[in-house]
Amino acid sequence: MSASAALQIALIAHLKADPAVSGHLGERIFDNAPVGASYPYLTLGPAQEIDDSADCVDGSECFQQIDIWTQEGGSQMSAKTICGAVRQSIRHSDLELADPYALVLVDVTSWSVIGDPDEKVAHGIVTVRALVDGS
């Protein structure tokens, strides 16, 4: 398993367990949404892992995109609200990563809401940065 995979598993578990997030999404928090998933829902988008090792430290800097999908006639209000809840949840978290990984730092570096080719859908994007020790 990679540091990025350990982070992915921890993020999904954390967001599902947080009532501030699941209150908006219910059980619709996915790695990859099933066909026909009902709105709103959250999926994981692109991820990047950068080696951040040093003497005696096997470290990684991980980036994970979290996507929020809402459908309210094109309104971005729910997407913004859910992005805010996800941001607050992650910023104040102490994620438990699978051995041998340990979280050093996690933060939300940005979030945005954009339109979608389907004009009834709004797309929220939350970018997470984590430093992970793999020693």
**pLDDT tens string 18-37:** 999 999 999 999 998 999 99
Q: What is the pLDDT of residues 52-67, one digit of tens each?
A: 777 677 788 999 999 9
Cα 28 off chain centre by: 13
> Cα 96–101–105 angle (5° rounding)?
65
What does the pLDDT average to over 33-50? Answer: 93
Average pLDDT of the chain?
A: 91
Q: Is the pLDDT of residue 40 over 90?
A: yes
Domains of the chain by start residue, with CATH: 3-31+38-134 (3.30.2000.30)
Position 52 scores a pLDDT of 74
Distinct helix (H) and strand (E) counts, the chain: 3, 4
Q: Over 70: is that where the pLDDT of 12 sits?
A: yes
Indicate the burial class of 12 (C-beta count within 10 angstroms; 0-12, 13-18, 19 or more): middle
- What pLDDT, on the 0 to 100 scale, is given for residue 93? 87
Per-residue confidence band for 117, with pLDDT thresholds at 50, 70 and 90? confident
Which H/E stretch holds residue 128?
strand 121-133
Q: What value, to the nearest 5°, has the Cα angle with vertex 66 and ends 35 and 72?
A: 60
Residue 72 scores a pLDDT above 70: yes
